[in-house]
Amino acid sequence: MKFLAIPLLALYSCVVFAQSVNQSVGDAEPQNQNKPAAPKPTPTPANTSGRRPPSELQKALDEFRVQMGAPNAKGTAGRLKSAGRQNSLTGRVYENLRNDLFDAIPHQVRQRGGTTKSLLRRNQFGLTVSGPVRMPWLYDGRGKTYFSFSYEGTRERIAQSYLFTVPTDRQRLGDFSDLVDSAGQPLTLYDPATTRLNPNYDPTKAIALDNLQYLRDAFAGNVIPDHRLDATARALTALYPRANIAIGPFLQNNYTINSPFANRANGVITRLDHRLDEKQQLSFSMNASRGRRLSPEFFSGPGNSGAPSYDYESGQMTVQNTFTASPKVVWNFRLGTSFNSQTSLPQGDAAIDYPKQFNLSGVFSKALPRFFFSGSYLSLGPRQPVFRDRSYNYNATVGVSVNRDAHTLRFNGQARRYFANVFSPATPAGALTFSTTLTGLPGLRNTGNGFATFLLGQVTRAEETIVLHPSYWRNTFIDLNASDEYRVRPGVTLNVGVSFEISTPRIEKYDRQSTVSLDHVNPANGQPGALIFAGKDGLGRGLQPTTTKFEPEISLSLNPFNDRRTVMRVGYSLNYNSYIVTGSARHFGTQGFNAAPVFISPNEQLQPVFTLRSGLPLNFRLPPDLDATAANGTEPDFINRNGVLPIDQQWTFSLQRELPLTMQLEARYTGLRGTQQYVDSLIRVNPYRVSLLPYGERLYDDAFRNSLRPYPQYRSFELGGLYPAGDYAGHALTMTLDKRLSQGVFGRVVYRFSKLMDNYSSGFPQDPDNLREEWSLSTGDITHSLSVNYTYELPFGKARRFLNDGSPLAHVFGSWSLSGITSVVGGNPLSIRPLFNRTATLIGGLRANAVPGVDPHVENPTAEQWFNPAAFAQPDDFTLGNAGRTHPTLRGPLEQFHHLSLTKRVEITSDTSLEFVTESFNFPNHANLNEPDTRIGPASSPNANAGRIIGSTGGRVMQLGLRILF
């Protein structure tokens, strides 16, 4: 019967707990499994769409867990492994509580008129237990079989503060008599129905108010007549929130919410270790987690444009065997699998056909479309109403370590098969954009209003995603590694290694994959560029080649002058990324099997592409359509087929020195270089050349403009965030002073001085043909950062200097410890941008002009004036700006965080104790300033907010914890 005990226990653990939980016990956020591991600049927003970044509060909590051993299922596995070697059960039970009753009112809430606490309800609870496996009358595993088990649950509702701009109550009814521009000057609306040629227009002169090419009549009193308001727009306006505050400047920032997100997560981690004999050890580990996240609502109802809510689930299972063949040879065999899934929750009533309810035809979904209004307005409609993503992989690893004289040779092989099954249409009900140009004067900037255009029902641009089937992606990765640790002599060790990696391209289970090939001729116009399909016309199932790459690594460590208190280390490594299965678009590369029609106005200044009354056009070919011309007239997906993969290089040099008083000082230099990084908007495969800008107003003619593209049968190409063209380089000097725990004191001080450059962190380039001009400071660059972590055990109580006599006072004042973290992080580089971009969509990343001789800095930066906006200017129409992508010296405000933890330990018995923990995040209740407004307007209508900072964020949050350790 004993031989049944181990598999029975493993099966019991899986059955009982596999139905519970989320992928991370302490963090309910889904993880992006495809993000490249090498450090690099911040990815473009598309790479993180729908993902909520961790708050500073969450980052602080995670750091506390690391520094103070706070309960976290991920972090306890290693500790339990060692604890489990004992012959009795050990563990802990804990509860952490946060409640806004203990907190300060957040600064951002108070600044927006809030007088009550911001909702915060958080309970984090769990238990960990480890020890020998003992099953009465069946099995006694003491000294042979050990287990560890962790459970953690999280229940939280935490308010998030947001500030938006929405139309005023007057404007919702079509009355724009209160409309002003960014300088506070009245802004006139014009009637697009009155558009006509100006017989007195002089083409030899620039377009101006007294020399218009097209004339329009202004709406009387800046009020749109009631009979001109579109019925669908009026009905949709009822879903839109009303202004509730006046932050400014002028009519901007007039809607604030303090909306909570809710998270319910449960997770378990279990591990089983069994010694088969003196030479073999078998391990089994499993974690599973499940949860539900309800995202903050920007406003209630089916029109809510906040992030989607979703259920999530993940898990991992591993079986490992370690075989010590001899004192010099150790084998390791490992099999594993993991999965991750996310499923959207319905927004609104799933039974209602919202397009039909609002008389909007041509929509292939029951969800409400999304509506965008130019002018920084809050959008209307769900961000992504439906998605079902599930990814999983199987992996196997074999490794052997051989000790031979002064060498330790290691050989490892890993194979991984990855699967991603996705149904995630980006805009299943369509995304409609309403620009300012149709209610302004053609040829003039700073005229018109996007919401007024919406009330007239005149759409400037629209796109739709029609996905008929889920996509089932697969690929394989193989890594063979050999390394040698050579002990040259005492105090000198050389490590040399090389990896050989094989990465296969992704395939689709049913070969539903396509791309545009620039080597094929399009039958419609005889031009290069035609749609090709996997598995057809001689193409393989994968549209990219299988890659084979060598990755070297070398490092050297030595004790200079045979001084064991000093260690010098130097190293270099080169790594290639593998193919990514799914990029920023989950159905990227499936046109023909799916469809993504795009509707663009023939001239966005003169006429709409369609009206809400007429509905979305049906003038496109429905899928499936496996023809070479199926993507014509769209923004097709383009897969780079040359097999180029991102390269990351890193080199380090460090010097470490033992100091008196149990301290240690390390200076470390790190160099980074990345080439061919995956990017999206940086590369324009089918670009407009900047040399076309002199065409001026003619570029607003869509047919003429598109005829100037290299591949005129298409519009811009979608790259899915997977085009290998980005570069970065970084250097960092890190100074670390460690104080090991002695006499009740532990501490660490880390100072970092660094610089990170790249050409892609801002997204769109100004000149697609001159990417060298994009090389500048990364948007995520931080020059200076300082972190101080410390723990101080008060010198009172048992085994301490004072009150160690067991008296009542010793019980009260003894066994207290104080821990804290203080961090100061410098600001990021500022990106100065023009308020208006009149380049007829040719230039996506237009920059401002730098004014010669004017200092952009101010002597004492404050929220009222962080930098000097007079040092920059709005470029003329159809011209480029000359300022850098990011400014070399202007930075945003620094951020600082100060956290404290006070712990009281009470011994109940010799094996059992109780810990009370009080944690204060941002205990000084410090406020960090927001980023300044970096938009620069023209002299005729300047941005009154340029260089100013609106508001700050932060607020003290308390957490109370109770732990029982046994």
* Predicted pLDDT of residue 798: 82
pLDDT per residue as tens digits for the range 279-299: 999 999 999 999 999 999 999
Query: Is there a domain that residue 754 lies in?
Result: yes
In a domain, 211, yes or no: no
Read off the pLDDT of residues 464-503 as tens digits, 9 standing for 90 and up: 999 999 999 999 999 999 999 999 999 999 999 999 999 9
User: Is residue 170 over pLDDT 80?
Assistant: yes
Chain centroid to Cα 391, Å, comes to 18
**pLDDT for the residue numbered 70:** 37
> In which residue are the tokens 């509730």 written?
244
% of the chain with per-residue pLDDT over 90? 84
Peptide bond into 249 cis (omega under 30): yes
- Lowest mean pLDDT of 128-142, 312-326, 871-885, name the range: 128-142
Examine residue 196 and state whether it is found in any structural domain, yes or no.
Answer: no
With respect to residue 170, please indicate whether it lies within any of the assigned structural domains.
Answer: no
**Rounded Cα distance, 323 and 281, in Å:** 7
Within a domain: residue 528?
yes
Q: What does the pLDDT average to over 624-636?
A: 96
Burial 523-561 (b: 16+ CB within 10 A, else e): eeeebebbbbbbbeeebeebbbeebebebebbbbbbeee
Q: Report whether pLDDT(53) > 70.
A: no
pLDDT, residue 814, reads 86
Per-residue pLDDT, 713:
98
Q: Pick the range with the lowest mean pLDDT from 19-33, 505-519, 810-824, 906-920.
A: 19-33
In angstroms, the CA 161 to CA 290 distance is 27
Pick from 855, 854, 881: which is nearest to 935 by CA?
Answer: 881
In the predicted model, is pLDDT for residue 33 greater than 70? Answer: no
pLDDT category, 594, cuts 50, 70, 90? very high
Taking the model in full, what pTM does it have? Answer: 0.87
Domain count, the chain: 1
User: For residue range 638-650, what is the model confidence (pLDDT) as tens digits?
Assistant: 999 999 999 999 9
Q: Which residues contact 405 (CB under 8 A, 6 or more apart)?
A: none
Residue 804 pLDDT class (50, 70, 90 cuts):
confident
User: Domain containing 141: what range?
Assistant: 122-165+254-965
- Looking at per-residue confidence, does 661 or 348 come out higher? 661
What per-residue confidence (pLDDT) applies to 181? 95
**What are the tens digits of pLDDT across the range 351-380?**
899 999 999 999 999 999 999 999 899 999
Per-residue pLDDT of 565-582, as tens digits, reads 999 999 999 999 999 998
Average per-residue pLDDT in the chain?
A: 90
Residue 303: inside a domain, yes or no?
A: yes
Provide the pLDDT for residue 90: 95
Distances from the Cα of 294 to the Cαs of 133, 306, 346, in angstroms?
40, 10, 11
pLDDT at 45: 32
Condensed to tens digits (0 to 9), the pLDDT of residues 417-436 reads 999 999 999 999 999 999 99
Q: What is the CATH number of the domain that holds 416?
A: 2.40.170.20
Q: Cis omega before residue 624 (within 30°)?
A: yes
Q: How confident is the model at residue 86 (pLDDT cuts 50, 70, 90)?
A: low
Q: What is 761-823 written as a DSSP string?
A: TT-S-S-TT-GGGG-EE-TT--SEEEEEEEEEE-SBSTTSSBS-S--HHHHHHSSEEEEEEEE
Residue 31 pLDDT greater than 70, yes or no: no
Model pLDDT, residue 24: 32
How does residue 737 score in pLDDT terms, banded at 50, 70 and 90?
Answer: very high
* Rounded Cα gap, residues 656 and 868, in angstroms: 44
- Alpha-carbon distance of 600 to 596, in angstroms, equals 13
Tens-digit pLDDT profile for residues 194-252: 999 999 999 999 999 999 999 999 999 999 999 999 999 999 999 999 999 999 999 99
User: Sign of torsion, CA 599 604 609 613?
Assistant: positive
Domain assignment present for residue 570? The answer is yes
Identify the pLDDT of residue 342: 97
- Count, residues in the chain: 966
Average pLDDT in the 794-810 region? 84
**Integer CA distances (angstroms), 297 to 51, 164, 381, in order:** 15, 13, 12
Q: Is residue 953 part of a domain?
A: yes
Which of 347 and 676 is assigned the larger pLDDT?
Answer: 676
Over range 101-122, report the average pLDDT: 86
The residue that leads in pLDDT, 867 or 26, is 867
| Rounded Cα gap, residues 267 and 151, in angstroms | 6
Q: How does DSSP classify residue 242?
A: P
Residue 63 has pLDDT above 80, yes or no: no
Question: Are the beta carbons of 833 and 936 closer than 8 angstroms?
Answer: yes
Whole-angstrom distance, CA of residue 583 vs CA of residue 384: 16
